[in-house]
Chain A
Amino acid sequence: MDSVYQALVDIVGQEHVSNRQEELFIYSYDLGTTEPHRPDYAVIPRTTEEIQEIVKLANKEKVPVVPLGGGLSLAGLAVPFRGGIALDLKRMDSILEVNEKARYAVVECGVSQGQLTSYLERNFPHLTHSEPGAPPTATIAGNVAIHGQGDLAQPYGFNSDMVNGLEIVLPTGEVCKFGSCSIGSGWYTQHPLPDVGLFLGWSGTTGIITKVSIRLFPSKKIRGVGQFVVEDEELVPEIMYKLTHTQMTEDVIAFSQAIPPFASGLQHFTINIVADSEKELEFKHEIVWDDTLGEYIRSGAGGFLGFRSGLQRPQVSKTSDWRKGGGFEYVGAIMPVETYPECYRRGRDISERHDIPYTVLGRCIGAAHAMMFSWTYAFNRADPETIRQAREALHETDDLALELHGTIWKPGLYGQKLVMERLDPNTLNLMKKIKQMLDPNGIMNPGNWEVS
C-alpha cells in the first residue's frame, strides 16, 4: 500500500484524493502546448488546515506539490514536471466577506472570477472587481499569483496591485497572513507594514495562497463598450496616451487579428466607458469620441464603430477553435506602449511564418504606464505538427518580447530561462536565497523559477 496515498486519504478523505490513471491523466495536462507530466496524486482539499497537513506530509516524504486554480494559465505553470501532488484548490470556494464601505472582498483561493462577479451583481450591484479576459472559471488567487490584469487595469493597474491581504500556507506548512489582517485589523490594506510580499508573481513556488483580500471598485449603472478602428498601427500609442489623459475610460484595448479576413490588418480599439446617468455618459462620449478621437475621424485616419451598453466578457476560448482544434496559447508580455506597432508587425510575421492566423492585443495598464501585449497562437490538439508550430512561435515570441525591452508575463519554462539569463545577478541570487529559505526541500511547484 502506498503510504503517501494513505496519508493523503487520512487528511482529505477517500473521495478527495486519487492515484488512478484517469485523474493523473487529466491533471498532467495544461491547456496550452506544454508537454504533459503525470502527477502521482490528485488532491482536492477543502480547508487551510488540510493544505497545511498536505504540505507537511510532502516535506516529510519529499514529494512535490503543484497548486492549481482554474488551470487556465496556458503556460504550463501547473504542470507537475516532477510528479507529486496536483493540488486542485477549486473546492475552497467560499466568498468570506464583502466589505461594502471599504470596498474589498475576502475570498478563498478556489473562488472563480465569475463567482465574484455574479455575487457582486446579485448582492452589491454598485461594486465590481477587475475581471481578467480569461474564462470566468479562472480563480482570483491564481490570477494574483501570476500578476494578472483585468478590465480595470487602465484606471487601477495590475490585479496583484489590488491585493489588500493574503493568507499563505508556507512550503513548510505554517500559515502566515500579510497586510492589515495580520494584526487583526480587517482585510482593508496590504500597506504599510514591512513588506514581505514574496508570493505574488512566484507562480506557487513559495507558498500556497489560501485567502485573498481583493479591492473592489465602484460599478456605475451604465457600463458599455465603444469601438474605434484605425488603419495605421503607428497611431495606436498616441491614441492610448490621449485616451488615458481623459481619465474617462475604464478599459482600453487595441487589437488586430487575421479573422475575419476583411478586418485583417486594421487596429481595433475597445474602450469601456461607464456612467451613472445619461448625462454623465453623454459628457464622457463627447470628451472621448469628439474632443479626443475626433481629429482621427475627421482626417479619415480612424472610424467610430459605435457604442454598446453592457459589458460582454470576451470569450477568449473561441480562439481555441480557429483551427477547429481546441487549443491556443499566447505569450503575454508587459511592454512599453510605444512598442505597439513593432509588436504588431513582428508578431504578425511570426504567425504567418508558422501558418497560424495572427491575433495580437495590447491592453493599457494604468495611465499608459505599460501595456500587456499578447500574441496568440491557435493550434489543433489532434495535430502534433500544429502544436509544434505553435510552440516554436511562442518561443520566438518570448525572444521578441525581451528584444523589444519587454518583460514576459507568466512565462513558461522557456520564458523563465530567458528572463533569468538576463536578471541582475544579485537579484537572481536573492531569489535563490529566498526560495531556499522558504522551501528548503524544494517541493513547491518544482521546475518553475529555479535558479541554478
Chain B
Amino acid sequence: MTLTDYKYGDVIHRCFRCGYCKFPINWMDVNNCPAYARFRMETYSCGGRLWLTRAWLEGEIEWSDHLADILYSCTACKNCEVKCPLSFNIDILNMMIAAKGEMVERGEVPSPVKEFLENIQRQGNPYGTSRAKRGEWMEGTGIEAYQGQEFLYYVGCVGSYDTRGQETARILGKVLQKAGVSFGVLGNDENCDGNEVKNLGEETLFEMLAEENVAQFQGLGVQKIVTLSPHSYNTMKNDYPGFNGEFEVSHYTQLLQGLIRDGGLDVSGGYNATVTYHDPCFLGRWNEEYNAPRAVLKSTPGVQLVEMARNKDGALCCGGGGGNFYIDLLGGSADSPARRRVREACETGANVLAVACPNCLTMLEDAVKAEGLEDKLAVKDIAEIVGEACGIK
C-alpha cells in the first residue's frame, strides 16, 4: 500500500505535532500518552507515530522491527484524540489502527502481536490456552449457563483465563447472584469479544469474531449483556450494532450502580478504606462513563474516595490497551505507565487503588509489586470491593 491507497492519506499530514496530545487533564506535564511517557523519544508521541506512518507509506523510511514496535506501543487509550485541538482529531486513532492494519496484511507485526492474533484465531483468546478451559473460572460457583435469563454475563478473555481476572469474574458472579439478578454465562462457548483484535489492526479477524458472537447471542435469544471488561462493553456497545447486533449492553459498574440505588444490593457491610479510582480507557475516554464506578464506590459505606491528579478524561492509561497487557511493549521500566500510575495513586494517600477492568487490574497489580508498594497500596476491582461490602468473601 502507498499513501494514496491508505484510507487517511488525505489527512495524515495535517498533524502539526504541537504536542497537545501528550497532555493530561491540564498542562501539568507531557506524559499522558503512555508510549511517550515510557520512552520519551518524539517517535513514540502520537504526532511522531503519525509522521512516521506517513514517511513509511511514502517510502521515506523502511519497515523495521522498531517501527512496528513504535506503532504497536500505542495503547489506543484515546488521550490524543480527546486532547488534540484540530478538527481531524476524530480520526487520529483510526489512522494508527489503519497503519497497524497495513502491517497485519503485510504480515510484518511484532512477534508477540503475531502470537496474540494466532492464539485468538486458534483458541479464541490471546493466551493460547484451550477453548475447552474457558469456563474453568466458574467451577463451584453455581453460576448457570445462559439459557434465556435476563442478562448474558459476558466475562471476556482476561476474566476467563488470568488468575486474578478469574477471581474478579467469580466475585462479580456471586454479587449478581446475591442481588438476585437473572443471568447466565457462556462458559466454554464464549469467544473473544474482538476489541483488542480491532485495535491491533486485524480487521477481518475482528469482523469474524463480531459476526460469530452476534449470531451466537441472537441464537440464544440474548437481549441484555453485562460485561466484566470495559473492552467487551466498548465493542459490543459501539461495534456490534454494525453487525446487526443490537443488544442492551452495560458495564457491570452501571448495573451495580442501579442495583445499589434501588436497594437491590445490600452493601451495608461496608468497606473501610481510602480509595482512589483509576478510570479504564474503554469505560472513560471511549464511552465517557466516569460516574457509575464513582457512584458505586461512594455508595459503599466506609469508602473514602480521593482523586488522583489525572482523572476522568485526563487519566493515564495503565499501558495495557491495544493488546499491551499481553504484547507488553511498554513494560520493563520505572517509566512504564502502570508504574507511573501506581506511584500517582500512592501520592493521594489512598490505600486501595480501585479499578473496573481486569486488564487494568493485572497491569496495576504487577506495577505495585515492581514498585515494592505492596504494604501501602492494594489494587482491587470494584466488584471485589462491593463483594466484600455485601458479605461475599
Contact = CB atoms under 8 A, between A and B. Distances in A.
> In the complex they form, do A and B come into direct contact, defined as C-beta atoms under 8 angstroms apart?
yes
A29 B51 contact: yes
Interface in B19-42: 19-20, 22-23, 26-30, 39-42
Interface string A15-31: 11010111101110101
A124 to B, nearest CB: 14
B42 A88 contact: yes
Nearest to B309: A122
A26 B52 contact: yes
A320 B85 CA distance: 11
Interface stretch (A110-118, A155-163, A409-417): A110-118
Contacts of B64: 20-22
A15 B331 CA distance: 12
B13 A380 contact: yes
B289 to A, nearest CB: 26
A318 B41 contact: no
Interface stretch (A175-183, A322-330, A435-443): A322-330
B15 A22 contact: no
B20 A137 contact: yes
A26 B48 contact: yes
Nearest to A316: B18
A135 B18 contact: yes
A72 B55 CA distance: 20
B17 interface: yes
Nearest to B58: A382
Contact of A26 (B11, B15, B51, B333): B51
Contact of B43 (A23, A113, A317, A380): A23
Given A20-B66, A21-B62, A321 B14 contact: yes
B18 A137 contact: yes
Interface string B52-85: 1001000011101011001000000000000001
A10 interface: no
Nearest to A68: B42
Contacts of B39: 15
Given A26-B51, A90-B40, A136 B14 contact: no
Contacts of B66: 20-22
Given A70-B19, A321-B87, A22 B43 contact: yes
B373 interface: no
B337 to A, nearest CB: 15
Contacts of B13: 325-326, 380-382
Contacts of A382: 10, 13
Nearest to B69: A22
B11, B19, B41 — most chain A CB neighbours (10 Å): B41
A44 interface: yes
Contacts of A31: 16-17
Nearest to B335: A15
Contact of B14 (A20, A21, A117, A324): A324
B220 interface: no
B102 to A, nearest CB: 16
A42 interface: yes
A117 B27 contact: yes
Nearest to A382: B13
Given A22-B52, A317-B85, A317-B86, A112 B30 contact: yes
Interface in A6-57: 15-16, 18, 20-23, 25-27, 29, 31, 42, 44
Given A20-B64, A381-B13, A93 B29 contact: yes
Interface in A66-91: 70-72, 88, 90-91
Interface residues of B, number: 38
Contacts of B14: 320-321, 324-326, 381
Contact of A317 (B10, B20, B42, B70): B20
Given A71-B42, A115-B29, A15 B19 contact: no
Nearest to B67: A22
A119 interface: yes
Contact of B30 (A90, A122, A316, A328): A90
B81 to A, nearest CB: 16
A88 B39 CA distance: 12
B114 to A, nearest CB: 20
A315 interface: yes
A119 B309 CA distance: 12
Contacts of A26: 41-43, 48, 51-52
Contact of B18 (A93, A121, A320): A320
A322 to B, nearest CB: 11
B27 A136 contact: yes
Nearest to B88: A321
B41 A137 contact: no
Contacts of A117: 27
Nearest to B17: A31
Given A112-B30, A137-B30, A317-B86, A21 B18 contact: no
Contacts of A315: 85
Nearest to B36: A90
A317 B27 contact: no
A25 B41 contact: no
B277 to A, nearest CB: 20
Contacts of A71: 17, 42
A114 B27 contact: yes
A44 B19 contact: no
Contacts of B29: 93, 112, 115
A118 B27 contact: yes
B80 to A, nearest CB: 13
Contacts of A20: 64, 66
Contacts of B18: 72, 135, 137, 316-317, 320
A91 B38 CA distance: 11
B40 A118 contact: no
A93 to B, nearest CB: 7
Given A21-B64, A70-B19, A135-B19, A44 B26 contact: no
B79 to A, nearest CB: 14
Given A71-B42, A325-B13, A112 B55 contact: no
A175 to B, nearest CB: 23
Nearest to B55: A25
A115 B28 contact: yes
Nearest to A313: B27
B16, B22, B51, B55 — most chain A CB neighbours (10 Å): B16
A28 to B, nearest CB: 10
B40 A91 contact: yes
Nearest to A324: B14
Given A25-B55, A318-B85, A44 B27 contact: no
5 contacts: A25-B52, A31-B16, A93-B30, A114-B23, A117-B27
Interface of A: 15-16, 18, 20-23, 25-27, 29, 31, 42, 44, 70-72, 88, 90-91, 93, 112-115, 117-119, 121-122, 135-137, 315-318, 320-321, 324-328, 380-382
Given A93-B29, A112-B30, 5 more contacts: A21-B61, A22-B66, A25-B60, A114-B23, A114-B27
8 tightest A-B CB contacts, nearest first: A114-B27, A137-B19, A317-B18, A320-B16, A326-B14, A135-B18, A382-B13, A381-B13
Interface of B: 10-11, 13-20, 22-23, 26-30, 39-43, 48, 51-52, 55, 60-62, 64, 66-67, 70, 85-88, 333
